[in-house]
Each structure stands twice: as structure tokens, then as C-alpha cells.
């Protein structure tokens, strides 16, 4: 993670420079170089991830062990129209509900190409189980209210071939 601060106030600029020098709140040169290198291929990576996500979301919609697919790129998603009007793509995050907890457990144990890990936006496909990972500290009543149930899985789609990701999910869902 990194960021950029731009100000048009000289006094504020000087305060920020002091914080940088005294507290080290800046990236190391190598980290900065890695970001610059990654930005050069960001567009092609995102395009591939979005293409993959669309194929996978459509496929998940047809699977007998999946009860719901949440992907803003699907026309039936409640945010589809606004996303279409505001963005040039739909991203690479999909969440879906498996038919039961046993299916969730089987998927997490059997995926091979897709890794069971918490992260977002990498080049590799990752699957998470929000109930026990990212949302574990949220009270169950609130999780249920926002749709983070014990059958919800979240998929961060990478740049592998979509057919390979689908094949991995297929063998894990069966």
C-alpha cells in the first residue's frame, strides 16, 4: 500500500516534510521502485482479471452447489447500472454463496490453483472465507445482516487462464 499527498500550502508542506524526515513515514526506495514497475503493467493485468472475473461469475451462476453470485459486472447485480455509468470495468472481486457449510469446507480444502489466503488485487487467484477471516471480529448478527454468512466465499480473481480457475473451482465444488 502506498499513497501520495499533494498540497498547495507551503506551511503544511513543511510540516509534512518534517514528519517524513523525523518519523520515516515514507516508502523505502526499493518499494517505490516496485510500485513504479508495477504501474507499468497495471492496465493489462486489470483487463485480464476483469475478463476472467466475468467468465467465472457467469460460470458460478450455473453451478448447482452455488446459491448466489455477487459480481457487479452481472446485469442482475443491484449496483450494475451505477458501476457501468461510473467505471470502465467491473473489477475482479466476486463473492458467492455455496449451498451449505460442507461445500465451503470442501472448496477450501480442495482448491489447488486458487490459494486460500487473505489478500486483494494480486496476480494470483485467492479465495477467502470472510466469516472466519476478514469479518471474524464482527458480531454474528451484524455479519448476517450484511450478508456475510457461513456459506459466503470471496474470490479475488487473478491473471491465470479463466478456464484453469474454473476447472479448479469445479473440482473443489463437486
pLDDT digits (tens, 9 = 90+) for 77-128: 999 999 999 999 999 999 999 999 999 999 999 999 999 998 877 899 999 9
Torsion angles phi and psi, residue 43, rounded to 5: -60, -45
- Residue 141, domain member (yes or no): yes
Identify the domain containing residue 150 by its residue range: 43-173
Max intra-chain CA distance, the chain: 62
Query: Per the domain annotation, does 167 fall within a domain?
Result: yes
Percent of the chain residues past pLDDT 70, beyond the cut: 99
Query: Which domain CATH number covers 153?
Result: 3.90.1150.10
For residue 29, tell me if it sits in a domain: no
- Asked whether residue 102 is domain-assigned, the answer is yes
Residue 15 within any structural domain of the chain: no
Residue 165 domain flag = yes
Considering its fold, how many domains does the chain have in total? 1
Amino acid at each position: 500500500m502506498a499513497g501520495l499527498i499533494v498540497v498547495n500550502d507551503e506551511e503544511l508542506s513543511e510540516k509534512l516534510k518534517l514528519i517524513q524526515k523525523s518519523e520515516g513515514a515514507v516508502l523505502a526506495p526499493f518499494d517505490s521502485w516496485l510500485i513504479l514497475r508495477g504501474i507499468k503493467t497495471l492496465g493489462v493485468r486489470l483487463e485480464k482479471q476483469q475478463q476472467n472475473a466475468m467468465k467465472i461469475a457467469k460460470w458460478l451462476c450455473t453451478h448447482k452447489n452455488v446459491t448466489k453470485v455477487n459480481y457487479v459486472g452481472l446485469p442482475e447485480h443491484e449496483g450494475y447500472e451505477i458501476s457501468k455509468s461510473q467505471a470502465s470495468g467491473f473489477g475482479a472481486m466476486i463473492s458467492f454463496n455455496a449451498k451449505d457449510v460442507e461445500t465451503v469446507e470442501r472448496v477450501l480444502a480442495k482448491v489447488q490453483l486458487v490459494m486460500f489466503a487473505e489478500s486483494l488485487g494480486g496476480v494470483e487467484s485467492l479465495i477467502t472465507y470472510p466469516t472466519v477471516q476478514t469479518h471474524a471480529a464482527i458480531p454474528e448478527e451484524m455479519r448476517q445482516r450484511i450478508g456475510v454468512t457461513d456459506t459466503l466465499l470471496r474470490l479475488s480473481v487473478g491473471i491465470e487462464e479463466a478456464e484453469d480457475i474454473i476447472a479448479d473451482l469445479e473440482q473443489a465444488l463437486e
